[in-house]
A and B are shown apart, each in its own frame.
Chain A
Amino acid sequence: MSNDGSPESATRNGARLSVRWARWIFQRMARLALPASLHEEYGEEMRSAFATMAARAWETGGTLGVLRVLVLACMDLVRRAPAERDARRHAAGWPAPERGSAMTTAVRTLVHEARLAARSLAKRPAFTFVAAATLALGIGANVAIFTVVDSVLIRPLPYPRSDELVTIQHHAPGINLPTVENSAGTIELYKRFGRAFQELGAYTVDAQNLTGDIVPVRVQVLHVTPSLLHVLGVRAALGRVFAADDSAAGAPPVAMLTYTAWQSNFGGSRDVVGRRVHLNGVSTEIVGILPEHFVFPQRPKVHLILPLSIDQKDGFGAFGTRVIARLAPGADVAAAQREATALQPRITELFPDVTPDLLKRIGWSASVTSLRDAVVGDARTTLWVVMGAVGFLLLVACASVANLFLVRAEGRTRDVGVRLALGASARDIAAMHLSESLLLATVGGAWGLVVAYVAVHAIVAAGPANLPRLEDVRIDTTVIAFTVLVSVAAGVLFGVLPMRLRLRQPMSGLLSDGRGRTAGRDRQRLRKGMIVAQIALALMLLTGSGMLLRSFIRLRAADPGIEPQDAAAIGVSLGENPALASDPAGRTAEHAKQAIVYQRIMREVGQLPGVRAVGATNALPLDPEAMNGASLRIRSRPQADSAIPRVAMYVGVAGDYLQAIGTRVLRGRALDWSDVDHARPVALVNRTFEHQFLNDNALGEQIRFGDDSTWLTIVGIAEDVHTISIRNDVTPLAYLPITASVHGLHIATMQIVVRTSGEAASVVPTVRNAVRSAYPEVPITSARTMESVVDASMADTSFTVAILTIAAVVSLLLGAIGLYGVIGYVVTQRTREFGIRIALGAAPHAVRRMVLRQGLVLAGIGIVLGLAGAAAVTRSLRSLLYGVTTTDPVSFVVGSVVLVTVAAIAAYLPALRASAVSPSRALSEE
């Protein structure tokens, strides 16, 4: 049709969509219920007939009509299934049955029970829908989070015998280095003396320019010891892996490509092995391709690996190397940890200038962590907290459904009594109820899987920055098994409680009176217990999410040291001339040339309307990956060679960077273009730097980073800015002109920061276009508002807050509905009593108060239990909190107040009904 976009075609699309969905579900159900042979013969006709029915239904009843057809057709499936599989037909003269019908009695009974259960549930569609939807929500949330937990925490890392893999790290709190990796010295230590480690692999991280007969690119590079590939159990998909002599001094340069780099940069051509490429200008032979699904732990985005050699001569002090080791047979992480701790003093044997006293002073220690724990890192706490939260949500959902069942049981006591009287055994009755709840749980689980599917995609799309292994997240058989398990557990949980109660009742009571007075009271007590449990769980979630919410607000309110509003950062890359890698003088000249280009770009940007200040940096705050650190020398305070050097971070800046980012100079002066133009040996340091290293008096002092850089004179002190994250303490930081001759200063990619007079987001495209049109050859690597940079640094907290808040709100709602249901039921039961009271002169408000009080007593008990539970549970949140304690009174009080309010509303509605009872009607009712 040509009238696309018209309301008519939109309607048609709606029809097509809902019909397609219905057909899909029907097809799945049919495949489940009916024998395969029927499908082969009639499957397609059946589907097409169903689709026609659904389409007709859409015309008259819309989506609801389609839904109705779907439900009826599925019920027909269930009804028909036993007949299709029934062997008795054979005896009746009908054709011989086929293999599908030779079912064991047990299965037939099961189908029979399921059919009865389906019929009974279908009789009360509202009840069934509400119960199944509640379960779907609870199960879906659990399955979604479990999918993430399973992929991130549970599934083993994709290496052979990955449980034997560990990492070794070190700590030196005495010099403000909470965690350092390894140096040639520590590696030598473990290699030479370690018995718990079978083999040690090491790697360092780098980025290099890849040229040759391909499009030049900057690639992520790992330098790996050949042993690392062995430790990780990697084989080459093509060509060979590194051999031990590839890393020997003077060996011809070789490299391996990762599968993705092979595909994307070399078009996956097989003759790439043996080809030569240029890496930072060095001609290198590609000797192999890594397997398709292989990723390095914590380094999923590597393009290329080079052999690394570790030389003890490199000494003890340069901690840039990461270690992955395979444990020796029989050794576990604890044993390896014990051994590593015991080995540390022997460093002094290998390096005589490292004294035991020095190790003691800096608080030196080693820690061995299983590789999986290292990869998962902080995400563990987040995920278990979230899993706990959705677990509570499921409990609340089960309590809700159990309550619904109890309500329903009120209407069915007589039915059960009749069955018992007719000779049904207690087991039959139990089977009946259990099959109903299991069927309901199955339906809830199936919907829950759909909920989970959507939720998992949302989570992966949102990609909380601190979740590792997100590329592994998917719904697989483990998850399906989990869903089945959770559904069955939920079904048993909410099915068994009401059932136990019913079996205890004497049969006469069931038959004599539909209400069953004593039994009714028991049931009421149980229902009230459920409500109390729901309220307690809801309060626990409310309190927890309250604490996280308050942490989040505090984090947001915390001063990052910059003003992210009205600022944006645009990444531009001039690349690096690889030929200059080992030519310091040439590099300095190159940086000077690049500085001129950056300056031109920034001038251009500065003239755009709405731009108030422009600066540039090679590393933005709160973006820890980009930060560079190095050992620091202070001219006036020389250290002995044996001392562990001081460490500080540095960034290269240009233009009005401090102004653009929104911080200020406390004393001295800022850096300006003339410092860059003349490559003046000057630096600005932050307040923490001055305080920590120079007794709050840094002006005029001289510092340098690394031993082969020039001395820089401190000309100004800048206000502190959080560099790693807002949670972390401010670290010592120096700002250098981008032309400063400091060995590790890379300015191939710079972030141009603009401060705008209006909305930053609206200026970003203008800036981008201006750069693109003036310098079409300069690639723009990113364009973000500074607010989004700050947001990204809090992604872990916002993810947890979001999930916990949703869980809390949903369980609050379920709790409120439950309370409303129970109090409402009590009111119905006591209508007569209320009528008499009112007839005898009781004021309506007194009746109202009486009912309200009943609801609030329940809520009160729930709140007391919930507070106790919350106090016990919120401790697990500690590492996620910021500026809020785990006993935060505000969260406890606000959570309780919210619950009391909601409970009061939930109880007030039935109370209103109670006070409006007309005495004459109430009394004439029986």
Chain B
Amino acid sequence: MPPRTRIERFLPLKPAALHILLALAEAPRHGYAIRGVVETRTDGDVRLWPATLYGTIRELKRGGLIEDAPAAAAPGDDSRRRYYQLTALGRQVLAAETERLRRLVRLAQRTYAASQG
């Protein structure tokens, strides 16, 4: 297991990075599919445009959070498309970020509830 500091230096994740990691958490996907999943899950609130999408993908790959998945192309799929999947580090970072966010939300809810009396 990598030291905690190695995980923590990626935090907090930028929204785009978080959404991409979440989209890859259950299955390897290609770039456009990631965009589709994110859009559906957020009811269209988050749309990843190409520069952000691939810029972030590259960043995540460089950081070792995701990697190319072995070609799992469905028939008829564009062969140019590359599939990405989470690495072990990626999963840990996602877990750590989720934990961080959970704590943050809990804090916010408590404080907010207190202020409402």
Which residues on A are within 8 Å of B, measured CB to CB?
A: 26, 30, 33-34, 38, 41-42, 44-50, 52-53, 72-73, 75-77, 79-81, 83-84, 89, 92-95
List B contacts of A34 (CB < 8 A). 51, 55
The number of residues on chain B lying at the interface, defined by a beta carbon within 8 Å of a beta carbon of chain A, is 23
Q: Is the interface of B mostly helix, strand, loop or mixed?
A: helix
Q: Is the CB of A72 within 8 A of B58?
A: no
Chain A interface: which of B18-26, B75-83, B107-115? B75-83
In order of increasing CB-CB distance, the 3 nearest A-B pairs are A76-B49, A93-B9, A95-B62
Q: Complex Cα distance A92/B49, Å?
A: 24
Give the residue of A26, A38, A75, A95 whose beta carbon is less than 8 angstroms from that of B55: A38
Complex: chain B residue closest to A72, CB-CB: B49
Q: Is the CB of A33 within 8 A of B9?
A: no
Give the residue of B10, B49, B62, B80 whose beta carbon is less than 8 angstroms from that of A45: B80
Q: Is the CB of A80 within 8 A of B55?
A: yes
Task: Report the minimal beta-carbon distance from B8 to chain A, rounded to whole angstroms.
Answer: 9
| CB contact under 8 A between A95 and B63, given known A38-B55, A38-B58, A83-B55 | yes
List B contacts of A41 (CB < 8 A). 58
- 14 further interface pairs, Cβ-Cβ under 8 Å (given A45-B31, A81-B51, A94-B59): A45-B80, A48-B32, A53-B35, A53-B50, A72-B47, A73-B49, A73-B50, A76-B50, A77-B49, A79-B52, A93-B10, A93-B63, A94-B10, A95-B59
Can you give 7 contacting A-B residue pairs, CB < 8 Å?
A: A45-B31, A45-B80, A53-B50, A72-B49, A80-B52, A83-B55, A95-B63
List A contacts of B62 (CB < 8 A). 94-95
Q: Is the CB of A52 within 8 A of B51?
A: no
List B contacts of A26 (CB < 8 A). 50
| CB contact under 8 A between A50 and B50, given known A93-B9, A93-B10 | yes
Q: Which of B9, B51, B52, B53 has the most CB of A within 10 A?
A: B51
User: Does B57 have its Cβ within 8 Å of any Cβ on chain A?
Assistant: yes
Complex: chain A residue closest to B49, CB-CB: A76
Q: Complex Cα distance A41/B62, Å?
A: 12
Task: Report the minimal beta-carbon distance from A42 to chain B, rounded to whole angstroms.
Answer: 4
List B contacts of A89 (CB < 8 A). 59
Which residues on B are within 8 Å of A, measured CB to CB?
A: 9-10, 30-32, 35, 47, 49-55, 57-59, 62-63, 78, 80-82
Q: Which of B49, B57, B58 has the most CB of A within 10 A?
A: B49
List B contacts of A80 (CB < 8 A). 51-52, 55
List A contacts of B31 (CB < 8 A). 42, 45-46, 49
Complex: chain B residue closest to A35, CB-CB: B55
Q: Complex Cα distance A804/B110, Å?
A: 72
| CB contact under 8 A between A46 and B35, given known A92-B9, A95-B63 | no
Give the residue of A73, A92, A93, A95 whose beta carbon is less than 8 angstroms from that of B51: A73
Q: Complex Cα distance A83/B53, Å?
A: 13
The A-B contact count (CB < 8 A) is 76
Complex: chain A residue closest to B54, CB-CB: A42
List A contacts of B55 (CB < 8 A). 34, 38, 80, 83-84
Q: Is the CB of B52 within 8 A of A76?
A: yes
List A contacts of B53 (CB < 8 A). 46, 49
Task: Report the minimal beta-carbon distance from A119 to chain B, rounded to whole angstroms.
Answer: 15
List B contacts of A49 (CB < 8 A). 31-32, 35, 50, 53-54
Q: Complex Cα distance A45/B30, Å?
A: 9
Q: Is the CB of B80 within 8 A of A46?
A: no
Q: Complex Cα distance A716/B51, Å?
A: 83
Complex: chain A residue closest to B82, CB-CB: A45
Task: Report the minimal beta-carbon distance from B117 to chain A, rounded to whole angstroms.
Answer: 34
List A contacts of B51 (CB < 8 A). 30, 33-34, 46, 73, 76-77, 79-81, 84
Complex: chain A residue closest to B9, CB-CB: A93
Q: Is the CB of B80 within 8 A of A48?
A: yes
Q: Is the CB of A45 within 8 A of B52?
A: no
Task: Report the minimal beta-carbon distance from B21 to chain A, rounded to whole angstroms.
Answer: 15
Task: Report the minimal beta-carbon distance from B25 to chain A, rounded to whole angstroms.
Answer: 21
List B contacts of A92 (CB < 8 A). 9
Q: Is the CB of B58 within 8 A of A52?
A: no
List B contacts of A93 (CB < 8 A). 9-10, 63
Complex: chain B residue closest to A37, CB-CB: B58
Q: Complex Cα distance A46/B49, Å?
A: 9
Task: Report the minimal beta-carbon distance from B58 to chain A, rounded to whole angstroms.
Answer: 6
Q: Complex Cα distance A50/B52, Å?
A: 12
List A contacts of B32 (CB < 8 A). 48-49, 52-53
List A contacts of B58 (CB < 8 A). 38, 41-42
List B contacts of A94 (CB < 8 A). 10, 59, 62-63
Q: Complex Cα distance A84/B58, Å?
A: 10
Q: Complex Cα distance A72/B49, Å?
A: 8
List A contacts of B82 (CB < 8 A). 45
Q: Is the CB of B54 within 8 A of A44?
A: no
List A contacts of B57 (CB < 8 A). 42
Task: Report the minimal beta-carbon distance from A313 to chain B, rounded to whole angstroms.
Answer: 79
Task: Report the minimal beta-carbon distance from A919 to chain B, rounded to whole angstroms.
Answer: 46
Q: Complex Cα distance A94/B47, Å?
A: 24
Q: Complex Cα distance A34/B57, Å?
A: 14
List B contacts of A47 (CB < 8 A). 50
Q: Complex Cα distance A382/B105, Å?
A: 73
Q: Complex Cα distance A75/B54, Å?
A: 15
